[in-house]
Structure 1
Amino acid sequence: MKQPLDQDPRLLRLFMAVAECGGLSAAEQRLGLSRSTISTHLSELESRLGFRLCQRGRGGFALTPEGEATYQAAKHWMAAGEAFQQQVLELQHRQLQGELIIAISDDSLNHPNFSFSEVVQRFRAQAPGAHLRVSSLNPSAIAEAIGAGQAHIGLAPQSSLTERFYSKVLYQEQSFLYCAASHPLFDARTHNRQALLQQDFVGAGYSWHAALTEREAPFNTCAIAPELEARLALILSGTYLGFLPEHVAAPWVAKGSLTALLPDELHYTTKMAAHCQSQQRSNKLLHLLFALLNDVHYVNAKKN
């Protein structure tokens, strides 16, 4: 005969439900099973135990002495199992403590496909003892921070500067060339590429990836603004043309303050990814955050 701890916990839970409901019929709704199915499962458990648990039939329902003892033992077993799970959870939480430094690209926080708030919510639920330090930087500064060990994880574009890191692509974004309403080209019905290249241009000022470098190189760069907010301000002044991520420009386009120039020609795609040093992947907090970033963005991608 099998030892008690070898019994199927599902059968024990079913028996406990029947005992607490006072019969098979009363337990049907609680268990979501038919009376005949419940009876079959009870018979299987009795066969495994080697004794009868309850009297059931025309004479009504009643636990046998063995059944009452089994019910009390099962309650203690279940309670012990819950206590074990709680202790393990507490141990896990103790390991998920410390500080995690996150550097986020300044053009990503408001992207509709970047679900950072949901990731943080799940992270806090699973690691309530962890402390987060989050900063917003330009992509080059993020790569430098990760390389120098000043940030555990960076959320920035995939590029040649991040090839030495472990990375996970999360989503893509499009960037276009924009000018402001006060710029002479804003109301032009047609635009000539060569004429655009002669206009004053504000560049990002860093060699991040080939597409950006290739797009900015031919322009007449008269200003540099690595941070997105500063670059946006210079473009809105009407003095400069410049590239912006589509989601950043969208509110200003909707208000009539910005327009994209030759969008079919002058654009580039960026793959946004999470990056860290390969040797840091054993960090439990970092491992959890990577798993959540992957899970949340995979699920959202499936939805879309």
Structure 2
Amino acid sequence: MNVDNIDLRLLRVFHALAEHGGFAGAQAELGLTPSTLSIHLSNLEQRLGMVLCERGRGGFRLTDKGERVHLATKRLFTALEGFRAETASLRGKLVGELTIGLVDSTVTDQRSPIAAAIRRFEGRDNDVHLRLIVDRPAGLNHALLDGRLNLAVGIFPRHVAGVEYETLYTERSLLYCGAGHEFFGKPGAGIDALAISRARFVGRAYNLERDFNAIGRVLHKASVENMEAQAHLILSGSFIGFLPEHYARGFAEAGRMQAIAPERFELTSEVALATPGVGKPNMVVRTFCDDLRQVNAALAVC
């Protein structure tokens, strides 16, 4: 198939359908009616001579060939975006898209360089559309590998092949309980290992190994996928769990949460800049990463 502007439009429709897993999300992204989306999809299937997806009462599902075309489409659009960004940079202007991944609940972290890096980047002559995606570390890794993210900043308990990690700074976490918990208001010396082992513990699924190594034997009673869910359980007064100090500070100052024996239960984690390990990043990505590094270095000496 010779690719022309019509084919690119049809491929963008298919890409949106595949990324959103159906018509509803694609409709919101593209501003097209379901019937128009269906027509475009059928036209693309006709031009390619293959069925890309199954749709009907059973829902929306990519066929095996559809999965392969989806991967090829992502590679095509990544290459096109890189071409657009590089040619624009020759004119002295940054143009294109920049998609950044973050772990959840980092907005309270004054040590995070994200906001200042964005401010520095936006001070440049640019026509770049920014997208910020919040996800679990595993999701960020996967999105970096398949090209959905240009870069990500967060804690990555497991490093994967094909992604490069560059440590920016360390984050301190403490063990917390909520008002109403039996430990609340008690000095650390009054909480022994036996009491800790009997306390109901909540941890984020992706950090459980780290937590168990730090706390020892514990009654693992709940698992969550993000910090907000974890905070709800701790604030109930029924659970204890590790949270970043910056995230828990507001709750602690309001008297709703308390660190448990911080001299005994303290964790440090590396916050890293993660980028795809293959391919040369375009000028937009390189510029933002440079801005991020410079801001991070300035924050380190404050």
CA shift at 1:161, angstroms?
2.2
- Contact 2:145-2:162 at 8 Å conserved across structures: no
Q: How does 1:207-246 map to 2 (within 5 A)?
A: 207=207, 211-212=210-211, 214-215=213-214, 218-246=217-245
Q: Are 1:120 and 2:96 matched, yes or no?
A: no
Q: How does 1:252-271 map to 2 (within 5 A)?
A: 252-271=251-270
- Contact 1:138-1:228 at 8 Å conserved across structures: no
- Measured in 2, the distance between the counterparts of 1:99 and 1:217 equals 45
Single out whichever of 96-105 and 236-245 deviates more from structure 2: 96-105
- Measured in 2, the distance between the counterparts of 1:292 and 1:162 equals 25
- Measured in 2, the distance between the counterparts of 1:277 and 1:253 equals 38
Q: Deviations over 1:135-168 (max 9, x none)?
A: 2222232222222322111111144325642222
Structure 2 length-normalised TM: 0.65
- Measured in 1, the distance between the counterparts of 2:158 and 2:215 equals 17
Q: Deviations over 1:234-255 (max 9, x none)?
A: 1101111111000011111111
1:203/1:89 Cα in 2 relative to 1: closer, same or farther (>3 Å)?
A: closer
Partner of 1:206: 206
- Measured in 2, the distance between the counterparts of 1:239 and 1:197 equals 14
After superposing on structure 2, the runs of 4+ consecutive aligned residues of structure 1 that deviate more than 6 Å are none
CA shift at 1:185, angstroms?
1.5
1:280/1:258 Cα in 2 relative to 1: closer, same or farther (>3 Å)?
A: farther
CA shift at 1:207, angstroms?
4.7
CA shift at 1:227, angstroms?
0.8
- Contact 1:201-1:240 at 8 Å conserved across structures: yes
Structure 1 length-normalised TM: 0.64
Aligned to 1:160, what secondary structure does the other structure show? Answer: coil
1:218/1:145 Cα in 2 relative to 1: closer, same or farther (>3 Å)?
A: farther
Q: How does 1:16-165 map to 2 (within 5 A)?
A: 91-93=91-93, 96-162=94-160, 164-165=162-163
Partner of 1:191: 191
Partner of 2:287: 288
RMSD over aligned Cα, in angstroms? 2.2
- Contact 1:170-1:293 at 8 Å conserved across structures: no
Q: Give the letter for the 2:299 counterpart.
A: N
Q: Deviations over 1:109-132 (max 9, x none)?
A: 221111322211121222521111
1:285/1:204 Cα in 2 relative to 1: closer, same or farther (>3 Å)?
A: same
- Measured in 1, the distance between the counterparts of 2:222 and 2:212 equals 15
1:267/1:138 Cα in 2 relative to 1: closer, same or farther (>3 Å)?
A: same
CA shift at 1:232, angstroms?
0.7
Partner of 1:298: 297
- Contact 1:173-1:269 at 8 Å conserved across structures: yes
- Contact 2:202-2:240 at 8 Å conserved across structures: yes
1:138/1:127 Cα in 2 relative to 1: closer, same or farther (>3 Å)?
A: farther
- Contact 1:178-1:261 at 8 Å conserved across structures: yes
- Measured in 2, the distance between the counterparts of 1:172 and 1:180 equals 25
Single out whichever of 241-250 and 130-139 deviates more from structure 2: 130-139
1:136/1:89 Cα in 2 relative to 1: closer, same or farther (>3 Å)?
A: closer
- Measured in 2, the distance between the counterparts of 1:97 and 1:282 equals 14
- Contact 1:99-1:131 at 8 Å conserved across structures: yes
- Contact 1:177-1:266 at 8 Å conserved across structures: yes
- Contact 1:203-1:216 at 8 Å conserved across structures: no
Count matched residues: 213
- Where does structure 1 lack aligned partners over 5 or more consecutive residues? 1-87
- Contact 1:158-1:169 at 8 Å conserved across structures: no
Single out whichever of 264-273 and 143-152 deviates more from structure 2: 143-152
Q: Give the letter for the 1:198 counterpart.
A: R
- Measured in 1, the distance between the counterparts of 2:282 and 2:211 equals 33
- Where does structure 2 lack aligned partners over 5 or more consecutive residues? 1-87
- Measured in 2, the distance between the counterparts of 1:212 and 1:182 equals 23
- Contact 1:281-1:287 at 8 Å conserved across structures: no
Partner of 2:277: 278
- Measured in 2, the distance between the counterparts of 1:146 and 1:120 equals 20
* Structure having the higher Rg: 1
- Contact 1:199-1:240 at 8 Å conserved across structures: yes
- Measured in 2, the distance between the counterparts of 1:251 and 1:197 equals 27
- Measured in 2, the distance between the counterparts of 1:106 and 1:202 equals 17
Aligned to 2:126, what secondary structure does the other structure show? Answer: coil
1:143/1:201 Cα in 2 relative to 1: closer, same or farther (>3 Å)?
A: same
